[in-house]
Amino acid sequence: MCYTCYIFQNGDAMAGHLHEEMRVIRTVMSKFVKMHVIKSAADVTKVDYATRHNQHDDDNIGVGQDARNYMKSDDVTSQTKANFFSKVRAFYMEMTEKMLSKFPVNNPILKSLGFLRPELRDSTPAKSVCDLAVRLGSRDG
């Protein structure tokens, strides 16, 4: 089971972890995009994942070991291998595009909720908590 799935299946309040867990997008990208391309983008939404030059070669693209071993066998033609890796690449690109369009990656409220994480409470400026309260429409008295 993936770490992100595991962490959200416990009984604790997890709102403070939501923004940090957007790293799942980077994890998916790392299966087909070169790491230096991912790291060079300050914002995950700015990674140029669709440019072929920024993607792994077929030898490094993320597929399971059984699939990789089968692709190395003499039973598989070079055309079949090329077609397979093209489909894998298309799958990863479509999945990344879908996550970027659906996940609230740059949601300021999710970013602000980080103070709910116990390890960040002491380092969170009071102003950011107050700004969140204003953004959420907090009413005094």
Identify whether 90 is part of a domain.
yes
| Angle at 130 (CA atoms; ends 125, 133), nearest 5 degrees | 135
Task: Judge contact between 113 and 15, C-beta under 8 A.
Answer: yes
The identity of residue 119, as a single letter, is: E
**pTM over cut 0.95:** no
Beta-bridged to residue 37, according to DSSP, are: none
What is the total count of domains within the chain?
A: 1
Task: Judge contact between 33 and 49, C-beta under 8 A.
Answer: yes
Identify whether 28 is part of a domain.
yes
Identify whether 136 is part of a domain.
no
Identify whether 2 is part of a domain.
no
Task: Judge contact between 25 and 2, C-beta under 8 A.
Answer: no
Identify whether 52 is part of a domain.
yes
Query: What would the pLDDT profile of 68-115 be if each residue is shown by its tens digit?
Result: 999 999 889 999 999 999 999 999 999 999 988 877 666 666 666 666
Task: Judge contact between 56 and 34, C-beta under 8 A.
Answer: yes
Contacts of 39 (CB under 8 A, 6+ apart): none
Identify whether 135 is part of a domain.
no
Identify whether 40 is part of a domain.
yes
Long-range contacts of 38-43 (CB under 8 A, 24+ apart): 43/105, 43/106
Identify whether 114 is part of a domain.
no
Residue 60 confidence class, pLDDT cut points 50, 70, 90: very high
State which residues form the domain around 49.
Answer: 20-104
> Whole-angstrom Cα distance, residue 85 to residue 62?
10
